[in-house]
Amino acid sequence: MGKVQVWRWWLAAGVLAITAYYLMPEGSTAGTLIYSGIGLASGLAILVAVRRYRLPRPGMWYWIAAGMFANTIGDILYDHYKYVLDKEAYPSFADVFYLASYPCTLIGLLLLVRGRRGKMAELVDAAIVATGLSLVFWVFVLHPMAAATAATLTGVISTAYPAIDVLLLALLARLFTDAAKRTPSTLLIGLATALLLAADIGFSLLTLHAGTDPRPLDALFQLSYLCWAAAALHPSPAAPAEDEEANGVGRGRLALFGACSLLAPVLLFVPQVGMDGLDRSVVAVGSAVLFLLVIARMAGFASLLRRQSATMRRAALQDDLTGLANRRRFDLDLLDALAHGPVHVVFLGLNGFKNVNDELGRPVGDRVLRLMAGRLQRVAPADSLVARLGGDEFAVLFPEAQAGRRPAELVAALREPVLAGGHELLVGVAAGVAESAGDQTDPVEMVRRAEAAMHAAKQTGEPVRRWTAALDERAGERARMGAELQAGLADDQFRVVYQPIVDVPSGRVAAVEALVRWQHPERGLVPPMVFIPVAEQNGLIVELGEWILRTACARLARWRAGLGDEAPGKVSVNVSARQLSRPGFADTVAAALADSGVPAHCLAVEVTETAVFEGGQAVTALHELRALGVRIALDDFGTGHSSLGLLQTVPVDILKVDKSFVDRITEAGRHAVIAEALIQVSAGLGLDAVAEGVETAAQAEALSRRGYRLLQGYHFGRPVADPDFALVRAAAS
């Protein structure tokens, strides 16, 4: 039987035993054995639970069990005097054990209360409840009991029981006003204490006013025993629970405090209190104590409100991850700074940070952000404000006097390698600077300008860029062109042109490269270098790129069907970094091939080195394309960050040697040496090399002499919508 069920079975069996006890005649041996057996079994159950379940604070349980055993011995002696010896059972030697049980129980409860890690507010709460209830207890129980008994052993013992009950009352108040998260075990302990207190008070009152020995109250004592043992057997330990804010005052607690505070003045209307000077004095003292306790409680509550207000203000103005100021704090401080003089705002954005999160996980990314924040705080001027505005973007606000070299120093600090999660990472950064000028007092506009300058710096590769009005003009132009691009796609303003890639010396057109042109109704022919960056920035390159891909595949299918062996063997399509970063790009390519009927090996996708330099999803997409059978061409080879390094990480079939190495191929010098080295690298790796930008026969001859077999350029044909492959072959022969 699992521990979860033991306590339930224990309570059920105990209730049956109590029922059986009341079915027995008073004084019967069976009834006496059942009554004493309940107490003895409860004490043993606690000892077993401590050893078997390794209960926390075992000393508390041992004391409670000891009190239970002492009480059980007292019950046995009481019954022996009353039913066997037929003597007056009160007071007797049994009271020694009864009285001895209370210190044991009190010590156990004290150990529990001490383990609750109480705060001052909880102690005040308990004192309010205990004081108010103790006044009632004094008036109706303790004082009448003391007054009705003489100063004899009987009087002392009769007064001792309710006096000890006052201590139980105080501990019970402390237990139930504890704001810690209560467990069922703790509630059972509280119930056991409450039952014991109720039984004692009932016994005292009935003895005082009725002069009888009430047997019905035996059930309360027995239920108390059962609840003590059930608390030990319950699966939830009576250990200190999670702390909660003790200063909070809910409706229930407020009603309890109010009722306890009103007990003192209400008692003054009780007739026996009004006639008894001692009672009135005790009530007066109790009222003063309650008044002071309530004042202390309200002072604590006011202090809590102040602390919570300060905490909420800090939370509202502070970034949770880095501890820096957040955007709201930055805007408020910037508004204040603009009212007092010229200021500068530096807006810093990390490059490639998304790849850190995607590849190494968000915990590593968070660690990087915290390290970056620490660096900024160390490098920034003492009178500046450093903030994290969101994501991987930071901002620094400082007076004009600090403008000088500060932005460059901030960027230099962030560009140092970062050690996070066992990885040494190099995170790039770009900074935009905006300075207040004229009547510029809008913090939102200041931040916007700095952010615009930062994005311009990222586009140009500059570490720092200052905002100028020209940036907004260009941004406005890009926005207008973006809208026109969208309209152009809807109105079929784009067309695909094809430039041949010739195999020498045969002159056969081995492939064509598909290029896009925009015939704008008002602007005329817009160069790709103008609209392609805009399309990449606003995301339209994805839609435009898919249209180019499908158009090129469909055109190659028609050539293959109509020209047979004279048709180009492949079509090459340029793909942007934005397209590669979209999950599912390989599926888009596969669908275009399936719809056109072109075999996968007849398609090559051209990517620039910068598009795949940072790895991540872009390289994953290339591997997926390679798995389809599509060939991969590295465009503008030799002009990127680490061209040769990419050959180890990126699946490549074709190297397209940049035009800059071809222009001066006919002259002796570095360009010719590099061009020759690149063809050797291609041959050694089993790659096809395509020389771009061939404009003269001399260049074609020089390249052919050095081993190049695939050439592309104006010498063989310009990009046109309907190339004449026979004419191209004749020109190349």
Q: pTM score, two decimals? A: 0.48
Residues 627, 679, single domain; the answer is yes
Taking residues 388-399, report their average pLDDT. Answer: 88
- Residues 521-545 have pLDDT tens digits of 888 898 888 888 888 878 888 999 9
Looking at residue 243, its pLDDT comes to 45
Taking residues 3-32, report their average pLDDT. Answer: 86
Helix (H, G, I), strand (E, B) or coil at 712: strand
Which residues partner with 710 through β-bridges?
A: 503, 690
Q: Which of 241, 260, 284 is the last residue of a domain?
A: 241
Tell whether 720 is covered by a domain: yes
- Residues 453-510 have pLDDT tens digits of 998 888 777 888 888 878 776 766 677 888 888 888 888 899 999 999 999 888 899 9
> Which structural domain, as residue segments, surrounds residue 724?
497-732
Q: Which two tokens stand for residue 680?
A: 């050797």
User: Any idea which of 59-63, 196-200, 419-423 has the lowest mean pLDDT?
Assistant: 419-423
Looking at residue 692, its pLDDT comes to 92
Angle at which helices 29-53 and 3-23 pack, to 10 degrees? Answer: 170
pLDDT at 202 over 60: yes
Q: For residue 114, give every residue at least 6 positions away whose Cβ sits within 8 Å of its Cβ, in sequence order, or none.
A: none
Residue type at position 132 = G
Choose among 389, 421, 395, 415: nearest CA to 321: 389
Residues 190, 303, single domain; the answer is no
Residues 74, 168, single domain; the answer is no
Highest mean pLDDT among 17-21, 423-427, 469-473, 674-678: 17-21
Residue type at position 98 = Y
Tell whether 617 is covered by a domain: yes
Q: Which of 255, 290, 316 is the last residue of a domain?
A: 316
Only one residue has tokens 């930008």, namely: 693
Tell whether 486 is covered by a domain: no
Residues 437, 551, single domain; the answer is no
**What is the SS3 assignment for 342-368?**
CEEEEEEEEECHHHHHHHHCHHHHHHH
| DSSP H helical ranges for 152-247 | 153-176, 184-209, 218-233
Looking at residue 1, its pLDDT comes to 47
pLDDT at 3 over 70: no
pLDDT at 428 over 90: no
Q: Say how far apart CA 38 and CA 48 lie, in whole Å.
A: 15
Residue type at position 601 = H
Name the strand (E) or helix (H) holding 690: strand 688-691
Q: For residue 428, give every residue at least 6 positions away whose Cβ sits within 8 Å of its Cβ, in sequence order, or none.
A: 350, 351, 352, 415
pLDDT at 211 over 70: no
Looking at residue 268, its pLDDT comes to 67
Q: Are 40 and 69 in contact (CB under 8 A)?
A: yes
Buried b (16+ CB within 10 A) or exposed e, 505-539: eeebbbbbbbbbbbebeeeeebeeeebbebbbbbe
Q: Say how far apart CA 495 and CA 508 lie, in whole Å.
A: 25
Taking residues 622-634, report their average pLDDT. Answer: 92
Decide which of 342 and 421 is more confident.
342
Decide which of 712 and 252 is more confident.
712
Q: How confident is residue 278, by pLDDT bands cut at 50, 70 and 90? A: low
* Burial group, residue 169, by CB count within 10 angstroms (0-12, 13-18, 19+): buried
Decide which of 243 and 353 is more confident.
353
Residues 351, 407, single domain; the answer is yes
Helix (H, G, I), strand (E, B) or coil at 696: coil
Q: For residue 366, give every residue at least 6 positions away whose Cβ sits within 8 Å of its Cβ, in sequence order, or none.
A: 321
Looking at residue 490, its pLDDT comes to 85
- Report the percent of the chain where pLDDT is more than 90: 22
φ/ψ of residue 485, rounded to 5: -60, -45
Decide which of 470 and 613 is more confident.
470
Q: Say how far apart CA 425 and CA 26 lie, in whole Å.
A: 85
Tell whether 477 is covered by a domain: no
Choose among 102, 81, 100: nearest CA to 90: 81
User: Count of CB atoms within 10 A of residue 417's CB?
Assistant: 10
pLDDT at 273 over 70: no
User: Any idea which of 24-28, 238-242, 411-415, 433-437 has the lowest mean pLDDT?
Assistant: 238-242
Q: Are 453 and 347 in contact (CB under 8 A)?
A: yes
Looking at residue 727, its pLDDT comes to 83
Q: Say how far apart CA 713 and CA 730 lie, in whole Å.
A: 15
**Residues 429, 432, 433, 436: is their CA dihedral positive or negative?**
negative
- Pairing type for strands 423-425 and 418-420 reads antiparallel
pLDDT at 129 over 90: no
User: Count of CB atoms within 10 A of residue 379's CB?
Assistant: 17
Decide which of 505 and 276 is more confident.
505
In degrees, to the nearest 5, what angle opens at C-alpha 80 toward C-alphas 78 and 83?
100
In degrees, to the nearest 5, what angle opens at C-alpha 610 toward C-alphas 606 and 612?
70
Residues 396, 261, single domain; the answer is no
Residues 12, 70, single domain; the answer is yes
- Residues 508-526 have pLDDT tens digits of 999 999 999 999 888 889 8
Q: Say how far apart CA 406 and CA 393 lie, in whole Å.
A: 17
* Burial group, residue 627, by CB count within 10 angstroms (0-12, 13-18, 19+): exposed
Looking at residue 589, its pLDDT comes to 95
- Residues 61-85 have pLDDT tens digits of 999 999 999 999 998 998 888 888 8
Q: How confident is residue 250, by pLDDT bands cut at 50, 70 and 90? A: low
Looking at residue 557, its pLDDT comes to 94
* Number of compact structural domains in the chain: 4
Residues 14, 45, single domain; the answer is yes
Tell whether 228 is covered by a domain: yes
Phi-psi region of 655 (alpha: psi -120 to 50; beta: other; left: phi over 0): beta
pLDDT at 306 over 70: yes
DSSP string computed for 292-336: HHHHHHHHHHHHHHHHHHHHHHHHHHB-TTT-SB-HHHHHHHHHH
Helix (H, G, I), strand (E, B) or coil at 495: strand
Q: Say how far apart CA 257 and CA 567 lie, in whole Å.
A: 95
Measured between alpha carbons, how far is residue 390 from residues 348, 353, 394 in Å?
11, 13, 7
Highest mean pLDDT among 143-147, 199-203, 687-691: 687-691
Q: How confident is residue 155, by pLDDT bands cut at 50, 70 and 90? A: low
Tell whether 347 is covered by a domain: yes
Q: How confident is residue 586, by pLDDT bands cut at 50, 70 and 90? A: very high
**What is the SS3 assignment for 81-98?**
HHHHCCCCCCCCCHHHHH
Q: For residue 87, give every residue at least 6 positions away whose Cβ sits within 8 Å of its Cβ, in sequence order, or none.
A: 81
- Pairing type for strands 508-520 and 524-526 reads antiparallel
Q: Which of 316, 341, 365 is the last residue of a domain?
A: 316
Residues 575, 519, single domain; the answer is yes
pLDDT at 606 over 90: yes
Q: How confident is residue 605, by pLDDT bands cut at 50, 70 and 90? A: very high
How far separated are the first and last CA of the chain, in Å rounded?
95
Tell whether 322 is covered by a domain: no
DSSP string computed for 576-587: -HHHHHSTTHHH
Q: How confident is residue 241, by pLDDT bands cut at 50, 70 and 90? A: very low
pLDDT at 143 over 80: no
Q: Domain with 565 in it: what CATH number?
A: 3.20.20.450
Helix (H, G, I), strand (E, B) or coil at 441: coil
Q: Say how far apart CA 292 and CA 611 lie, in whole Å.
A: 74
Q: For residue 695, give every residue at least 6 positions away whose Cβ sits within 8 Å of its Cβ, in sequence order, or none.
A: 713, 714, 715
Q: Say how far apart CA 271 and CA 273 lie, in whole Å.
A: 5
Looking at residue 55, its pLDDT comes to 86
Decide which of 275 and 678 is more confident.
678
Looking at residue 347, its pLDDT comes to 93
Q: Domain with 417 in it: what CATH number?
A: 3.30.70.270
User: Count of CB atoms within 10 A of residue 321's CB?
Assistant: 14
- Pairing type for strands 570-574 and 603-608 reads parallel
Residues 331, 345, single domain; the answer is yes
Looking at residue 535, its pLDDT comes to 86
Choose among 576, 447, 572, 558: nearest CA to 513: 572
Mean pLDDT for the chain overall: 81
User: Any idea which of 361-365, 377-381, 422-426, 678-682 has the lowest mean pLDDT?
Assistant: 422-426
Q: Say how far apart CA 195 and CA 345 lie, in whole Å.
A: 69
Looking at residue 154, its pLDDT comes to 60
Looking at residue 513, its pLDDT comes to 95
Residues 589, 681, single domain; the answer is yes
Residues 597, 666, single domain; the answer is yes
Tell whether 474 is covered by a domain: no
